Structure formats: structure tokens, C-alpha cells
Structure 1
Amino acid sequence: MYESLHEHFPDLAPSQSTVERWYREFIHGNFVLEDAPRSGRPNISHNEENVNEMLDLVTKDPHITYAQLEYETELTSGTINIILYKELCVSKLCARWIPHSLNLQQKYIPIDFCKIMLKRLLMEIQELFLRSLQEWVEDDAPPPTKVRRARSVGKQMWAIFFRSSGFVEAVALEDRKTVTADWYTTVCLPKVITAIGLQREKIGIRGILFHHDNASSHTAIRTRELLENSGLKTLSHPLYTSGCSLESKINYVGGDFRLMRS
């Protein structure tokens, strides 16, 4: 029988266990297809009237809470949850805060302004460049020439330390040198710790939260040992985030301490 059903109704045929159960019932003379009555009362709370009532409450007050819904409808939290998520297909999300709600025309105003300013800037740069090349010369004099500037001597690297109350210390890196754990622990950090002690004569470095990124010189064993022995508590730095290091721009860092490049 099971093979015959699947042969004629491949998508609608019941499972083999269902066919076997039906076969046993038919043998015992039970040909009633309706479900037999069961103990317990049926669930009458999950009906169209309650669904419409819930929809009306949520529409009128999108900020309504579960406790308020239970009080207004006298339904259980489980029934309310089923109606909200399965019947109404709604979910409660935090609204995004934006300073202003602009229409399409207002959004184009700053774009047009930036285009105008960029155009003026390019014109002024071009005019300045041409003006710097032009010189007054006599009719029989040769045309003027411009000598290309010599190569710059390079940038000076600084490690600048700030507290939430202001500047602490600036430590210069020697020309054409690399930031290493040796320089960081023997030259840079000792100057910073000394400067903190001078600024906070009574409590010293107690309570300072030190923050720097995950550069190799910052995560070296000797650096961690120096900070631990000095009593400085460090703030962890999340991976793949722009932070404050010897090679970063000036960005705000939370806590009482921050390290940045000039």
C-alpha cells in the first residue's frame, strides 16, 4: 500500500509510519478520520480578535512594553510573543538617533556648496601656481627658469602623551630610527612616568589608565613587565581598529591616558 501511494501521489503521500498506523486502525474497524477528543481546554486566546487587538495597541503606541500588553489584553507573555512575532511579524528595535531629518533638497545643499568651494580652490591653486612661475623680464633677456627643490630631510617622529586634563610629555625618536621595544622601555616610557610623577606629586601614577595600540613594541614582554612593575593599569585595544600609536593620527581615546603622534 505504501509503495502504491507514493507511486501515484509522490508529493502528497503520507509517511510509511502513518500508513501503517492507518492500516492497524482499519483492521480494528475504526474508519473515523476526525481527531479523537482530548483532555484539556483548547487554546482560545490565540484567535483573530486578540490578534487585531494586539495590532491596534502596537500601532497606537509603538513604545508599549510587554507588561503593558499583558495588562491591556490579559494574555500571557507566551501568547503575546506568538502573536507579535508569528502573526504580526513585528520586532522591537532601537531607533537611530540623527541630529536632523533632511529632505532631498536639503541634502543636496551641502553637496552643491562643496562643489563650489572645490572649484574655487582649484582655480585659486592654478592661479597661484601660474603666478609663481611668471616673472617680469626684459625683452632681450632669456626666459626664466625654476630649480627643483632639494629633497626634504624627512619628518621627525614624536611620541606625544596626553591625559584627559592635558599634555604630559613629548619624546622625540632619533632620526631614521625605528620604534623598538628597547627604545620604548628604556627611553620613552621612563620619561613619561617621570613626567606624570611631577604633575601628580601627591598620588603619582596611581589611578592612571594607560592606552596604546597593538604595535609590536607595545605588546613586547619587556614592555608589559615595565608597565606592570610601574603600577600602570593598561586598557585593552580592540583588533582591527584605528587607535593611537606612534604611526597614527590624533584621535580621541577613552580613559585617563592616550598616546598619539604629532
Structure 2
Amino acid sequence: MGQNMFNLISVIFGLVRRGSLIRRCASVMENLRFEVRANIKFLSKLGWQPRKIIQSLQQVYESSAPSKPVVYEWIRRFKEGREAIEDDRRAGRPATATSERTVALVRNLVEGDLRLTIRRIARMAGISLHSAFGILRETLGLRKLSARWVPKALREEQLVRRVNLSRELLTKIEANETGFFDRIVTGDETWIYQYDLESKIQSKQWLPRGSANPVRFKAERSARKVMATIFWESDGVILTDFLEGKRTVTASSYKAVLRKLKTALARKRRGKLHLGVLFRQDNAPAHSSRTVRTVLREFRWEAIPHLLYSADLAPPDFFLFPKLKEHLKGTLFDSMDDAKRAVSTWCNTQLQDSTRNVCGGGDTACRSA
């Protein structure tokens, strides 16, 4: 009996100590919250920019620093004339932010305007930014996504033609799974610059917590450029051709390049000419001209139809040129000849290992169309 009583007293004493510890921790957190708010108030009255205030708080408080939305909210309050750093007193019973009523209110607000900000949702629902974010992400499972730009809003008949063409290509693929892609030759043109700006992703740097964002000075791509025409197939690049100066592709210049392509095929891929070339190109004016159609009939090459605004069905658009530009961006070449050599080297090395996988994945693009 005595031992049981002793154990009970020990448990009660432990709970009391734990409760005292929790209260002390809560008191410390509350004091820290007031201290941070006092610093925000002081720095905002000195005229510091919000970004500088946030960096200073992160440097001092590290992981205990408040989030950016919280800092911005208190800066706004102090600028509007608020003096108190304590929480506002609320009348009545405290509301539960994640109650069914609050969740339903947030859902209705979002359905009414899909572009509402978290800050505005919190104000309209009468809850904190943290609660609003939790309801949106955890309870409702929502994400705020930017609109994706597409070249054109297709009409119904254009969508039907796109589906029919994709089905036609799938039929040919399934009828001859191994030989269809081996017969395809595709190509297109793109501008190559002596210097092209590096992308935002390429400029990212790993920096310690609290560091200022790296600075990138405004620059422009070089005026010196050359038009590159690249033809390739499942085994790699067949021809890389450059137009001198800043000339653009015309029907006559493209006709000359096609003759170079046939010569290159005869030298590098003689078997492809015997199988019969399936030629894929977009419908740019120079490509669809009567002159070019006459040349293709002369070569006895079968043209694969290509519809307007179908970049996802064009390997140069969704694979070749994005990877090539990513490789060239941020490099300042001494001359355009160096830029041309860089293009040729990349096409003959990096591209060769990936072309068969890209060509072999064409049926996936057709099915998703």
C-alpha cells in the first residue's frame, strides 16, 4: 500500500513539474514574441525596408525568427499607427480556426475568387495567416499555381484535327514499331547568339541562412547572331548548317539546305534512303512553300503532317533547342565561329546519347494529344 502511494505521489509530482515546465516555456515564447515585435516596431520607425528588417531578425533569432508574412503584417500595423505590441483582446469564446464553419468559409471565398491572396483570405475569414495557410494546404489540399502560357487557344475543329493526326501516327507506330522511328528525319532552325543571358535557374547559388540574395546586373543578349539549322534522327545529328550574317530562312535557302541534307544522308545513313525517309518539319512559310514541296517529291520523301501550334509534337521544340540553349546560356564566345563550334560539338556528343529515347517516346506525346 505504501509503495503504491509513493508511486502515485511521484507521478503527480512529475505532472506538476511538467506543467510548470510547459508554463515556463510558454512564458519564454510569449516574451520572445513581444521582443521581436518591439524590434520590428523600432526598426520600422527608423525607416528600415521590410526586407532589411527580415534579414536582421533572421540573423539574430535564426530558427526562432518570425515568418515573412508575420513581419509584413506587424510593419503594416505599426505604419498605420498601432503602438501596442501585445495581442488584441477578443471578446467571447476563442474561435477554432479549423472548425467546419471556418473551413467552409475559406472554401467559399476561394471558389468565389481563385486569385485571392492568403493575407486577404485571413482578413475576410477573421483568422491568422498561419491558420489560413493550413486550411488551404492541409485541409482543402489546394495549391496556388501560375497560369501557363500557351501559343494559341485552339478551336474545336483544330482540336479534332490534332486528335485525328495523333491517332494516324499511332496507327503507323503500332503497325511497324521498330522501323517507323528509324525512318524519321526531323529538323528546324533557331538563333545562336555570341552571348545569351543565363537563365534564372542557372544564376541560383547555395548561400548560408540569412544571406542576402545574390545580385545580377541587367544585361542583354548580344546583337551578333547566326541562324542554325539542325537535322537529326534516332542515331544522332545528320547536318548542322549556319546562314551567314543575320539572314533568315527563305524558300530558296531552305531548298539548298535540303540538298545538303540528302547528301549527308547518303554519306552517313545510306540505309535510311533505301528504307524511305519520313520527313518531319513544322509549317513555317519557308518549309511549306511550293519550292520545298517540289524538292520533297523529287527526293521521294514522305512528309509527316504537322499542325499549327503543336510544339509538344515537334522534337526540336520540346527537346533539342531547350537543351541546346541551356548549354549555351551564360557563355560569352570570342567570336561567332566559336559559337558555331560549340553548337556542333554539343550536337555531336551530348545529343547522340539521347535522340533514340526521344524518338522512341513519340508515341507518348501522340497519346497525350
Same fold (TM over 0.5): no
TM-score category, normalised to shorter length:
0.3 to 0.5
Computing the radius of gyration from Cα coordinates, the structure with the larger value is: 1
Q: Higher helix share goes to which structure?
A: 2
TM-score for both structures, normalised by structure 2: 0.29
